Amino acid sequence: MTTITLKPSTYGYSDLRVNGRLVSCMPRIDSISKVGAGRWEGTASGRAFEIIGGREAGGTRSDWWVRWDALNKDHRFYVKSAAAAVNLIQNA
């Protein structure tokens, strides 16, 4: 089961973690919450995004899709992991 969390760190910034591993400090992602099996929604730089994937969503562990309004409202981008999905949003 995949977890994606955004929590305040001890240094006053926010830590973005995927499966307990630090992915980013001071992330672009403003909010994120799990809304269903293998599905997360949130905002990044004020624009909505959606991450769907993994075994919980009915795919394999390496099937993940990202839709972010800042990139394209109608297209989902394929990535290989939850960490890659978060990094796509962080580095776009």
Strand ranges (DSSP E) for 1-92? 4-8, 14-18, 21-25, 29-36, 39-44, 47-53, 64-68, 77-79
CA distance 69 to 6: 20
Domain ranges within the chain, ordered by starting residue:
29-91
Residue 18's nearest CA partner among 1, 30, 35, 31 is: 1
Residue 32's nearest CA partner among 9, 13, 60, 51 is: 51
Q: To which H or E segment does residue 52 belong?
A: strand 47-53
Q: Quick check: pTM over 0.95?
A: no
Q: Are 29 and 23 in contact (CB under 8 A)?
A: no
Residue 63: the pLDDT is: 93
Residue 28: the pLDDT is: 85
Residue 1: the pLDDT is: 82
Mean pLDDT per 10-residue segment, the chain (92 residues): 87 87 86 94 92 90 89 84 92 80
